[in-house]
Chain A
Amino acid sequence: MDILNLLLQGISVSIIPVNLLSCTIGVLIGTLVGVLPGIDTVSAIALLLPFSYGMDSTAALIMFAGIYYGSKYGGSTTSILINVPGEAASVVTCLDGYPMGQKGRAGAALAISAIGSFIAGTIGLIGLTLLAPPLAQAALVFGPPEYFSLALVGLILLSRLTGTSALKSALMAVIGIMLSTIGLDSLSGISRFTFGIDELDRGFDLSILAMGLFGIGEILTAMTHAEAKPDIPSVKFRDLYPTKKEWQRSITPMFRGGIVGFLVGLLPGPAATISSFISYGLEKRCSKHPEEFGHGAIEGVAGPESANNSAISATMIPLLSLGLPFCGATAILLSGFMIHGITPGPSLITERPELFWGLIASMYIGNVLLLIINLPLIGVFVQLLKTPLNILMPLVAVVTLTGAYSINNSMFDLIWVIFFGILGFLLQRVGFEPSPLIIGLVLGPELERGLTQGLIICNGSIWALITRPITATILSIGAVAILYNFVTWFTKYDNTRKELDI
């Protein structure tokens, strides 16, 4: 087969010692970026760009890509161990990963997320290998009206992920949308709700909010409970790995997550984060025991952690076959490529096949390396839990704040991380779960932009906008889902009434 030959050629490029070494360095740095809360992929690659100037271009690209996909492997580690997400894409993993850790199943959760990442990462890569050019073309069919409908349906379906009341969740999502309107409006160039403060023009970065609400917020929560440290059962070596039952429950979510992540990854926006939320919602809906979600359901770790990895592979498709970055992390990868004199685009595959296939082959190898690196580390990470909280948490705080500063090199951002940290702490106290806020913050701007641009494209007619074929399909799916929810809620309500004999 033609592609197989090309891939074999790619492998021969990627196993040249210097390339293999770059791949290893890349995935190691990536793992570190993922594990350390606050350090995000974009700033890590930006920081390392100058060090790559002397490197061979293929080796440099392999390293940057390694950092990128590697960072999504480690993201779940701190989510599971201390409820602090290492990456925005692992926020949702806290919901069930942390409860699992509390029950002494941290090792299992870490293992499942590493294996899920590997399986889904590989699914994504197979998609990338076989279908890159046609899929990239298909993704272009999605214009602003289509994003608007996706964001709308996503907001409605995803804001009710967690167990708390629908009203509280909706409120959090709305606050997230409101926060997303602060700053320089990317379309009109007008500053909104900034009160003349220049730094607010930048708006609130997703990572800043995630670090504050979940990172610092959790550190504060942990410190107020420091005396009454929950008794984490000491973990025996054999308990580090998943039981047969945990395996059986995880395998389908891994594949489902892999496919969901791949599809979401083809679209613009922070795909890894969005796909992890979608996968979580999907698993909750498909599960036979939805009541376990939020209390340590392993599907809630397996699905999202798989989804964010295959999303990463899929985001490489528009980058490599069109030369168009659809998210922040691929934009910085594109910079890395261009600084080394490589311009991805439709002709990359034909003009530089050794580079294209070498890079893809290195990603297969990198995924295997990541699995090999991550599985033995689980034992080490679980030991971290033995560190007293009054030593561990200040360290986590230092790392988080350093990372927050590095995003925009701004002290102003640090103030906000701390502000949102206190807010997150207070919200948890009064029973608000902040993850719908993140969904509002991510999807709000997509919704607004899609509507504004979409309306211009459709000559100002909302009817023309919602009757475009794809838009109409997505909106109908949303409507059916809402109706379905409403009906189940109503029958439940009816049944309770009958039981109570009112």
Chain B
Amino acid sequence: MEKEAIPAATKYPEKPITLIVPFGVGGGIDLVARTVEKSASTHLGQPLVVINKPGGTGTIGWNEVASASPDGYTLAMTGIEIILQPLYGPTKFHYPSALEPIAQITELSLIMAVQADQPWNTLEDLIAYAKEHPGEIKFGHPGIGGINHVLGETFAKTANIQLEQVPFQSGAEAMSNLLGGHIQVVFLNPAAVKEQLKAGKVKALALGGEKRLTDPIFATIPTFKEQGLDVVCNSWNGIAAPKGLPEDVKKKLSEGIKKVIDDPEFQRNMENLGLQVTYLGPDDSAKKWLIDSQQLTKTVQETGIAENIKTQKK
């Protein structure tokens, strides 16, 4: 049936499509990729095969995709790191221009959380405490220069308080240190906070998004903006291809991916992971990359993160 529908010139896809995840198995982005993999074959006509190529904060995997032939058979999972990494020093490719977006799958509004038995119930309480005790509050995040770190520093700068950052290897490690009382604050994505929030082990003080989240567990968390601070920092995950896909391939691919994302089962699976599906098509994603690039270039300079990393690299 399908054969009749497709003109001879565009037989794509004829073989399984490789989706490279430039991070290790088990991370948040890997889970998104595997949720796509799970629903893909019915909508794409061919299986999607996830391959992990971890290392170098994503650069090893993205380098491989950026130098792959643009035939639609090698794709990459992307995240906000493709914008951030080139800001910290030379990378082999300038990813925002060496790759082209096919879709944005999800947008993650980061959550600022503290241990449940801390005396702070609002952002105001914490800011007041931090003003009296400069440098005493330590915040954890999974990796220097990552979006969680950027959010933490942006918050501290906007609120005009001094927070010390403690880097961890993963969100889970930051969370266990928060629960153990070794640090006081974490900035993590909703999935990493959900279970602890549900069990009443942590309190969420603020959300990094423009709007509140819809999931009832998160719906009560006010945004930074609602609490009078101009702090917005969102992370996202999507799929991209090497620049220069043939028009027809790009069209079929983005339509196929859109069908995957519209699939109710996919949406349910994402919801289970604590992730909100926020679809953007190829053009809208490209616009977003541009806006994020401009915004983050400014942020990492103003917060001193870029400078900090560059001096260490020397």
Contacts and interface: CB of A to CB of B under 8 A. Distances in A.
B53 A409 contact: yes
A331 B177 contact: no
Nearest to A350: B199
Given A324-B175, A409-B52, A331 B312 contact: no
A15 to B, nearest CB: 27
A246 B196 CA distance: 48
30 contacts: A46-B25, A50-B38, A50-B49, A53-B37, A141-B180, A144-B182, A184-B57, A186-B169, A187-B168, A188-B309, A188-B312, A189-B146, A191-B313, A198-B56, A199-B60, A202-B56, A328-B24, A334-B26, A339-B34, A339-B269, A341-B269, A343-B194, A343-B273, A345-B198, A345-B199, A348-B195, A408-B55, A409-B51, A453-B168, A456-B166
Interface in B103-120: none
Interface-centre pick from A334, A345, A348, A453 (highest chain B CB count, 10 A):
A453
Given A140-B179, A456-B166, 6 more contacts: A140-B176, A187-B144, A189-B309, A332-B26, A338-B272, A457-B166
A45 B25 CA distance: 10
Interface of A: 42-43, 45-46, 49-50, 53, 140-144, 184, 186-191, 198-199, 201-202, 268, 318, 322-326, 328, 331-332, 334-335, 338-339, 341, 343-348, 408-410, 449, 453, 456-457, 459
Contact of A325 (B35, B51, B172): B172
A325 B26 contact: yes
B149 to A, nearest CB: 9
A201 B59 CA distance: 10
B199 A346 contact: yes
B164 A456 contact: yes
B143 A189 contact: yes
A142 B183 CA distance: 12
Given A141-B180, A339-B35, A50 B50 contact: yes
Interface string B24-45: 1110001100110110000000
In the complex, the 4 A-B pairs of residues with the closest C-beta atoms, listed nearest first = A345-B195, A346-B199, A143-B182, A202-B55
B56 A459 contact: no
Given A143-B182, A324-B176, A346-B199, A453 B167 contact: yes
B72 interface: no
Contacts of B194: 343, 345
A474 B59 CA distance: 40
Label chain B's interface by main secondary structure: mixed
B176 A322 contact: yes
Given A184-B56, A343-B274, A456-B138, A335 B195 contact: no
Given A140-B180, A324-B172, A409-B51, A343 B272 contact: yes
B92 interface: yes
A453 B88 CA distance: 22
B304 interface: no
A188 B34 CA distance: 29
B173 interface: yes
Contact of A331 (B59, B172, B180, B196): B172
B55 A53 contact: no
Interface string B115-127: 0000000000000
Contacts of B195: 323, 343-348
B96 interface: no
A457 B55 contact: no
Contacts of B313: 190-191
Interface in B277-305: none
A339 B27 CA distance: 12
A43 B53 CA distance: 12
Nearest to B25: A46
